[in-house]
Structure 1
């Protein structure tokens, strides 16, 4: 990796990740062990989502495992599975702008990506004044009682917990956005369309707060749960091998857009050979049909899973600033 690439990934990293009084780390952030790249701050502050433990624990509790997939000593590419304690890793800016972003990494509902679609984007956001919360959500194939609703339960709970802690982070509770990637883009879109769906029993005062984000940005998202555009792995791990048409419809964000959905920012590369661009197009059409504001950016090249690091040197590298300018118009910042 050259120095220019590292400078992009680490831009603006004069960040403060020390927890405020009473906000020290609970369950530690996922770690694969071993040395981490110098100069890239890691989160030291986490928030467990469920104070009495996540509901619906399977008979055999998942065992968290973190795999390091990168062979470059200067860049980590971790993936975590077996999440039994869903939680948020917090990235605080030096100068908060009052806005927050819930980041939902992808991983095909097989695992949750730590760095490429989590920490790297969180550092970028924090360097620009946003408080970023990276969500490590439970995976449906681990046997949780909520089944395919388990991921949405964690996303809804995360939005409510962030709002309940707004004073601790100097954020406006109304200015909390959601951004997700790939399968995390599906969860982001699911949250932004089914924020009012009751998928878990309230556990404390935070659950009296709303789960609707001020705006949503599904990036190269999984949307369809039906052939021919569904991502087969995400669909099977979320819904099982042979889901009914009703179950497919219930978990297809384009089929569940309410009249009061928040504004959407959609981003996809037309040469995506993993999640077809039609996923974003059908969601855009559904949003337009309901009169929901939607900004759509399609790039000819980019492939799948570009995040920040794989966008460098391509026109698609402009996407974070495009999102930032669009977000200003939603009232986020």
Structure 2
């Protein structure tokens, strides 16, 4: 994926034309109610599929965003029924040339907007990264791709970011993935099955690699083994009675290729929703294939801490640990 300056400028011109002629801009997910003052909301989005997402359920879906917070100064939105998968874009004031595809969690029941999406995107953009928050389709909502539907969106998103690198002043090689909880499963799936064909190519963007430069599954769902799996995510991903072959196919720890990207793993040992064994299994599988992995375990933090729930705890150091690690990988 090496690219020179002239090629990058040409790619930027072509992708600008593509953006203006092919890609609609669907509004970011929102919910009724006033937004807190001072927090920038995204105004730029990128729809993933120019002719609509493939394999739509016959009954159709109605996108619904709900506000779960009782604090008027802190939003906690979640969205389901996503029929137009898309990315919300957070541009930095001065780009450092790197980008991060953010994949929020939600147990495959919904996709959270703020806690693991916009809040992390603001943190990254303040440090020079261009952040793309992915609103992916949910496997339990009747899509033809079934358990591969979120992976298809993640692969397509990575390719689109690279295809449009010139629009964002980023290096198409330096595009990382970071996911949380069930979004951590999507992230780990992307970083292990980036070469898997889970959709048919639709345009020139699909000539690009879907392999992340590096991957950071944070308190991730990994294994579909019922003894350690997050039961809700497993049921919505695989259905009520999956066989062992399906469990293996959708457990990233069992699908690590030798050329997987470097991983940054992080989990709290008191996580009562997604057992820490998920991260330990992922680490062991990566080590077995000699894939570079850095792992951080914290005694206290619970599940779903993101940025806001980490405040005042040792786990609050995690974003800076990721940033320091990213620098050792020549990413930041």
> Structure 2 CA distance, aligned partners of 1:282 and 1:124?
29
Match of 1:213 in 2: 212
SS of residue paired to 1:292: coil
Q: CA deviation at 1:227?
A: 2.0
SS of residue paired to 1:96: coil
> Structure 1 CA distance, aligned partners of 2:82 and 2:309?
27
Alpha-carbon contact 2:24-2:50 (below 8 Å) kept: no
> Structure 1 CA distance, aligned partners of 2:182 and 2:234?
9
SS of residue paired to 1:173: coil
Residue segments in structure 2 that go unaligned for 5+ positions in a row: 1-15
Match of 2:121 in 1: 122
Q: CA deviation at 1:332?
A: 1.3
1:180-259 matches, within 5 Å, as: 180-259=179-258
Match of 1:151 in 2: 150
Alpha-carbon contact 2:61-2:81 (below 8 Å) kept: yes
Match of 2:160 in 1: 161
> Structure 2 CA distance, aligned partners of 1:25 and 1:32?
21
Match of 1:45 in 2: 44
Alpha-carbon contact 1:269-1:299 (below 8 Å) kept: yes
SS of residue paired to 1:260: coil
Q: CA deviation at 1:34?
A: 1.8
Q: CA deviation at 1:329?
A: 1.6
Match of 1:273 in 2: 272
> Structure 1 CA distance, aligned partners of 2:206 and 2:270?
41
User: Once the two structures are superposed, what CA deviation does each residue of 1:158-181 show, in whole Å capped at 9, x if it has no partner?
Assistant: 000000000000000000000000
User: Once the two structures are superposed, what CA deviation does each residue of 1:118-167 show, in whole Å capped at 9, x if it has no partner?
Assistant: 00000000000000000000001110111111000000000000000000
Match of 1:71 in 2: 70
Q: CA deviation at 1:33?
A: 2.1
Alpha-carbon contact 2:32-2:66 (below 8 Å) kept: no
> Structure 2 CA distance, aligned partners of 1:49 and 1:25?
9
Asked if 1:315 is matched to 2:314, the reply is yes
Higher alpha-carbon deviation: 23-32 or 160-169: 23-32
Residue segments in structure 1 that go unaligned for 5+ positions in a row: 1-19
- RMSD of Structure 2 on Structure 1 (CA): 1.2
SS of residue paired to 2:162: helix
SS of residue paired to 2:315: helix
SS of residue paired to 1:116: helix
Match of 1:16 in 2: none
Alpha-carbon contact 1:25-1:45 (below 8 Å) kept: no
Match of 2:91 in 1: 92
User: Once the two structures are superposed, what CA deviation does each residue of 1:24-46 show, in whole Å capped at 9, x if it has no partner?
Assistant: 97100001022100000000000
Q: TM-score with structure 1 length normalisation?
A: 0.93
> Structure 2 CA distance, aligned partners of 1:244 and 1:61?
28
